Structure 1
């Protein structure tokens, strides 16, 4: 399994921030209001120590009880205002973050839906799950507790500094004497935690990929008694995750006590120097109220500096996640839906003309493929594994695009068709039937509200699946569980037939639909296939040559090239590739 390697993000990556702002645009009114609330908080918090200083130096020092009541009311008013603004700021930043990540997640999933199969062939599913779930969730922290909070912290620091220097520049310099130590420790903490967070994200991505792949392939693991080896491998990956998390916890456990000591030292210096100043108030101009206000300011000043390091790492990881999400959105491995031809029904005339195709540049899968299928004809593709049979049907549905040649349907190039209109006219039944963990009805309609239960029952009746479906508990509402685990292979295959037929397609493609079932089930499925093919253009891939003897045309493929074409009898008389395949299967059966 290829491991995911995540590198640190640059917090001032303007290209990423600019693209993220596009997701903010639909909510820019609320965003600007959030900025206003951030400014308000930055002003309100430093105002409290100033009011306390005035209360101590004036009404308290002078014994003015009414003045003290007035100052108390002002202080209570400030606290109420700050609580209201803090509530609005917290709620709005969280609201904004959730709506933005909702939009990003929807856009990302829609993008995944339109990527070509080639992309999924080479990308671990667990990694895509990480992108769509974990990375997007990390990105939400940027909006809910990262960017706005960090800006607010910086503004608050600036306002506090302004108030402190306005009161006494001497006390300010004494108070901030330990600040270089805090900056140094904060920088070291930021760098260490950044590395640890990167390692945590790597481990999470690798865990997701490993678990998803091995749970999906659990039958293989158990068949080959690989449980112990896989368990040990999982323990290694999980150990990496644990170590990375413990490292980050270690850095936090060291940094915050150190920051507290530095802050306490700064307050100690302030009290030592300020107390002398209060004694000599006439000479120094330092009052008791000013000293108390400075103690409060220092506590307010050091707190956001400590938090900024944490928020900085949150932002960095958000930028990392953003880059990964944007890179996925930038992936152009999608089939361009450039055509606009969308007939309600097609006739079913198919033509391949000098088609060449390769999944990658090195390995050409199909070489100079040319054949025609007329409306209503049945054509069978036979050949050894890897001959290119499945590639042909993938090209017909435009899951992949060809490098050379032309494929036409009813005389019109496939690229001229609207992609969805094209695929709706082609019913595909694959050998490996995939069923979702849902009802039979959902697995047939895939949630399409335009398909009625009556149409589903008619399609089930056509292929001979209605009886077995209605015998199940709940009938069409029976939950087949993940991948159809509660159904037999033959039952799953019949459901896939109903799924293909419910759209009443003009073209039917059957990819080795009977290769993995027993003889009795094969006979039942073969009857269903005959009904499905009636009056439709059909392309059949089969290993069992006995199932395609009645085909109008048989195309024999070998190493991506057409070797022979003809009917079953014609090809037997030629004594070529098909004759050899037929004899080999006959020997196996005898």
Structure 2
């Protein structure tokens, strides 16, 4: 029950529903004891003496018990359902909220399909057990207790003899639980793996088809599906062994009752009504024991599911606000950024950046150039506090960004990533994402600066066109221009362009770059690019290699000295260089 204890805060406010549900079920269980006693009375006090006039009274009594019991069971279901739904609602919100604030470090290894499984199937298992399973498990104890008490009151020797197999029933059930719980844990993990395979395949369906890897994907899915099937078969095998053993033990109890009880009736040491009542009461006890496996199954599933949900809820947040975190006043933010001997490594890996040191004054443009894995994007992610630095300081207007609230810091930064993500919404909604009270004129202006307005107006519904999942239906360049418009609409003090024009052609890039000249005015801008054309107007260019700055300066300075920048420059403009190694028409520095 440790899992339920840890989840208590999510259903504490509706604990009265649990109490009412249990009380109603207990009362209904207690009324169930009336039937054996009515049978006893019917046989001993009505049929044998021939007092048939009391049959009507006993029948009315039985109908009344049925009506009241039905009402109590309805109330049990009502309160239990309310409690389970309330818990699932709160847990679902809590998990989703936690996922929003978990750091990038968590998502570096998290799998989408697994997370989806936890927020759906696992929460449903918890809801069922807390809403109904817990009360039913407790009711099992009450039924055994109440039934045993009544049997003892009738004939304690026969009761002890008849219930000799009950401890064995309980032992088998407990042993079953110890084996079925690991099986269900493995089953949930197998289902998560299966869900992840489907999610990844649907997401990357174009890649799959372009490489003609459909057979490979089918085989990969089949392996995971087979693992899930094997887990299901293993659990079914456990169940198939459990039920026959339970039935055998229950049959032994009944056989002992009939033999011993019948003998006592013959010797007139027990009435026939007592024996019939005993027979009803033994099933009143054994019946729940039969269902013990189901309740244990329900419990183990919810326990395994609860552990998986708690993994999310208990996941530490690496990047979070300090107690006295500063809230930035947008009117007072200038965009002065300074990196001071910054070093950072992902986990236990080699440092991704080492001793990065530069200063970007308000309104300046800083460019980053380097090969894959050189640390360009890491520098930008550290500025956004996607991760916290291991060593050194990053300051915004003189304040260490770790002293600034994460939300306040990121509200002053707009980023256009190389890998564009669009939501399944209208183009207007994607551009205005995260902004409140934005006019249509502002949206159109941002789209015009991003050179997206013309192609948007050519779409059937213009800005109200709904793009597919992740922007499917638009070209890479079109998606990237919408992402640029989204960033520009935010009107940030710091603008980050992470290879933002990589998916557009050279002509469109020139148009967008000319638009950037206007929007970058007065903003501190960081440009990550592989094209020299995107960096040539930067106030300072940092060339990175293996996480270190190996060159820095303006475009005109860097092409005059040997180094990686000039090498890239000559490769990109090999067909347009003059004898001095400069681009035709490009003057001296």
TM-score using structure 2 length: 0.92
Provide Cα deviations, 1:397-419, integer angstroms capped at 9, x if missing partner.
11111111111112222122221
Counterpart CA distance in 1 for 2:430 and 2:147 is 62
Match of 2:20 in 1: 33
Provide Cα deviations, 1:344-402, integer angstroms capped at 9, x if missing partner.
24211111111111112331111111111111111111122211111111111111111
Provide Cα deviations, 1:533-587, integer angstroms capped at 9, x if missing partner.
2332211111010222122221222221122222111122233332222122223
Match of 1:343 in 2: 329
Match of 2:154 in 1: 167
Match of 1:88 in 2: 75
C-alpha displacement at 1:59, in angstroms?
3.0
Counterpart CA distance in 2 for 1:262 and 1:314 is 23
Counterpart CA distance in 1 for 2:514 and 2:447 is 13
Match of 2:277 in 1: 293
Match of 2:293 in 1: 309
Q: Say whether 1:214 aligns with 2:201.
A: yes
Q: Say whether 1:18 aligns with 2:5.
A: yes
Does the CA contact (< 8 Å) of 2:17 and 2:82 recur in 1?
no
C-alpha displacement at 1:178, in angstroms?
4.1
- Which of residues 500, 509, 518 is equivalent to 1:522? 509
- Which of residues 279, 284, 302 is equivalent to 1:318? 302
Match of 1:5 in 2: none
Counterpart CA distance in 2 for 1:236 and 1:170 is 58
Provide Cα deviations, 1:440-476, integer angstroms capped at 9, x if missing partner.
2232233654334343233223333223223212222
Q: Say whether 1:204 aligns with 2:188.
A: no
Match of 1:436 in 2: 423
Over 3 Å counting, the alpha-carbon distance change for 1:49 and 1:446 in structure 2 is farther
Does the CA contact (< 8 Å) of 1:42 and 1:153 recur in 2?
no
Equivalences for residues 113-512 of structure 1 within 5 A: 113-179=100-166, 182-183=169-170, 185-187=172-174, 189-281=176-268, 284=269, 286-338=270-322, 339-345=325-331, 346-446=333-433, 448-512=435-499
C-alpha displacement at 1:66, in angstroms?
4.0
Over 3 Å counting, the alpha-carbon distance change for 1:452 and 1:84 in structure 2 is farther
Over 3 Å counting, the alpha-carbon distance change for 1:69 and 1:306 in structure 2 is same
Counterpart CA distance in 2 for 1:454 and 1:77 is 72
Aligned residues: CA RMSD: 2.2
C-alpha displacement at 1:493, in angstroms?
0.8
C-alpha displacement at 1:259, in angstroms?
3.2
Counterpart CA distance in 1 for 2:537 and 2:134 is 69
TM-score using structure 1 length: 0.91
Provide Cα deviations, 1:239-282, integer angstroms capped at 9, x if missing partner.
1211221232344345335534543443343233333433332x
Does the CA contact (< 8 Å) of 2:342 and 2:353 recur in 1?
yes
Q: Say whether 1:554 aligns with 2:547.
A: no
C-alpha displacement at 1:152, in angstroms?
0.9
Provide Cα deviations, 1:313-338, integer angstroms capped at 9, x if missing partner.
32123222222222322221331122
Match of 1:567 in 2: 554
Gaps of 5+ in 2: 578-589
Does the CA contact (< 8 Å) of 2:318 and 2:387 recur in 1?
no
Does the CA contact (< 8 Å) of 2:493 and 2:523 recur in 1?
yes
Match of 1:4 in 2: none
Counterpart CA distance in 1 for 2:135 and 2:447 is 57
Match of 2:585 in 1: none
Match of 1:539 in 2: 526
Higher mean C-alpha displacement, 580-589 vs 411-420: 580-589
Counterpart CA distance in 1 for 2:248 and 2:485 is 72
Over 3 Å counting, the alpha-carbon distance change for 1:229 and 1:245 in structure 2 is same
Match of 2:327, SS? Answer: coil
Over 3 Å counting, the alpha-carbon distance change for 1:477 and 1:334 in structure 2 is farther
Does the CA contact (< 8 Å) of 2:180 and 2:300 recur in 1?
no
- Which of residues 43, 52, 75 is equivalent to 1:56? 43
Over 3 Å counting, the alpha-carbon distance change for 1:144 and 1:384 in structure 2 is same
Counterpart CA distance in 1 for 2:177 and 2:367 is 64
C-alpha displacement at 1:304, in angstroms?
0.8
Does the CA contact (< 8 Å) of 1:175 and 1:270 recur in 2?
yes
Counterpart CA distance in 2 for 1:22 and 1:567 is 58
Does the CA contact (< 8 Å) of 1:358 and 1:365 recur in 2?
yes
Match of 1:219, SS? Answer: helix
Aligned length: 574
Match of 2:584 in 1: none
Over 3 Å counting, the alpha-carbon distance change for 1:59 and 1:218 in structure 2 is same
Does the CA contact (< 8 Å) of 1:186 and 1:306 recur in 2?
no
Counterpart CA distance in 2 for 1:494 and 1:24 is 46
Does the CA contact (< 8 Å) of 1:553 and 1:567 recur in 2?
yes
Gaps of 5+ in 1: 1-11
